[in-house]
Amino acid sequence: MVFQQGAEERRVDGETLTLHIHGFNIHIESDDPHTLAGLAQLYAAFRTPVSGHPHLTIRIRCRTSASGDPPALAIGHLWEPLPALPYREAYICERVQQAILERLTPFLPLHAACISRNGQGTLLAGESHHGKSTLALALALRQVTVLGDEVALLHPAEERLYPFPRALSLRPDTLHRLARPALARMAQPWGDRLLLDLAKFPTSHPHPAPVAIRHVIFLESAHGPPSGRAQQGPFWLFTEPTGPAFIHALAALPGVRHVIPMGAGQVEVHPRPGQRTAAMRQAEQLCRQAGIPLLNLIRTRLRPPAFGNESRLLALSPSQGVCRLLNHCLTGRPAGTSGEHGQGEVGQLLMQLARGTRGAVFHRLTLGPLPQMLAHLDRLLSSERMSLETEQQESHRSCKLSI
């Protein structure tokens, strides 16, 4: 179970890390130098020597304490148990990111890469293993500024994208696919991934500015998105093995219609109509309250991505684009809010997404060989640059005529 401890017991002996993210201070401490070093590398762009009063304190105890307390993680004052290895590093990474994003309330966090050229922002939205980080790295090598490879922060009221430049998280074979194996010397191994600091690239900026959103591109297989009913169908929880009490509690959640235990800690959850987002959040909260580490939550059953077909860049209508972008919201809550919400939150999210992206053009980029996908992006970004240069020339000519 999740349990609360006194201030003295809550302290973790070890090293500390302080982050400053868009006005929000996070203090992280851990008794494991390797874990803290990985987080420091992942969030290198947000590290700050300023101590000050933290808005959020995260404590990570990777070893059994002298008093016999087991490995656990605390977001604020409440502790929750850590899963056993080899899942621990990935779990810590996801929980820390989730805790941070849930508190950045002015923004809608999106599961997408974000790039910038000439002050114009482009979102690359896609499921895991669909090439977001690979394309982000390839574009960084082509003088495009990468504002983030996994998370993009959309400010709906401002209609702008804010940077979330975590280190690029890459599979080891990615550098060979890009014919850049020498970059491995710049990377930091962490779990089964390589972390590559964006600040080491010539196009990086120590304090990148927010950008207007110009394009939203969905990376999809040639046969289309994973499911046309992604907001209605089931989702899947992966936890450490649980007993019948947890299954009954899961089935009793307000947003859940029924559940199907699949063994080995996997549960298929069928939400009530219109309650899918609420049901996912309720299931995550139940796991935390029950002290059961949530190893993964899969929103849709994905076909394995295939990169052997010809890549194509196709147009999408704004209404189609906004509905698809809803599937890439990371927190499931409207911007400017926190905590639990009732019915109607999906409608709020759609309205905020439509407002935040109303100046954007939506596209589908079907998966294919990497050179083809990059060629499509190069043409799109180059045409955008020429369009902007034409606008600037017309503006300059108009100024001369008016004078």
Domains and CATH numbers, the chain: 3-103 (no CATH), 108-226+359-393 (3.40.50.300), 235-298 (3.30.70)
pLDDT in tens, 135-144: 998 998 888 8
Residue 340 above 60 pLDDT?
Answer: no
pLDDT at 275: 82
Give the rounded percent of residues in the chain with a pLDDT score beyond 70: 83
Asked whether the CA dihedral 141, 144, 147, 148 is positive or negative, the reply is negative
For residue 275, give Cα distances in angstroms to 229, 258, 270, 281.
Answer: 13, 12, 10, 10
pLDDT at 122: 96
Average pLDDT, the chain: 81
Please choose, from the candidates 237, 232, 342, 343, the residue with its C-alpha nearest in 3D space to the C-alpha of residue 288: 237
Secondary structure of residue 288 in the 3-state scheme: helix
pLDDT in tens, 30-51: 999 888 988 988 898 888 776 6
Please choose, from the candidates 360, 382, 372, the residue with its C-alpha nearest in 3D space to the C-alpha of residue 316: 360
Confidence of residue 305 (pLDDT cuts 50, 70, 90): confident
Confidence of residue 343 (pLDDT cuts 50, 70, 90): very low
Q: Which helix (H) or strand (E) holds 36?
A: helix 33-42
pLDDT at 341: 46
pLDDT at 86: 67
Residue 174 above 50 pLDDT?
Answer: yes
Which pTM value belongs to this model? 0.76
pLDDT at 51: 62
Range scoring the smallest mean pLDDT among 39-48, 115-124, 176-185: 176-185
pLDDT at 116: 92
Q: Which helix (H) or strand (E) holds 290?
A: helix 276-290
Of 205 and 316, the one with more pLDDT: 316
Residue 255 above 80 pLDDT?
Answer: yes
Residue 114 above 90 pLDDT?
Answer: yes
Please, is 228 exposed, middle or buried when counting C-beta atoms within 10 Å of its C-beta (0-12, 13-18, 19+)? exposed
What's the CA gap between 189 and 192, in Å, rounded?
7
pLDDT at 307: 81
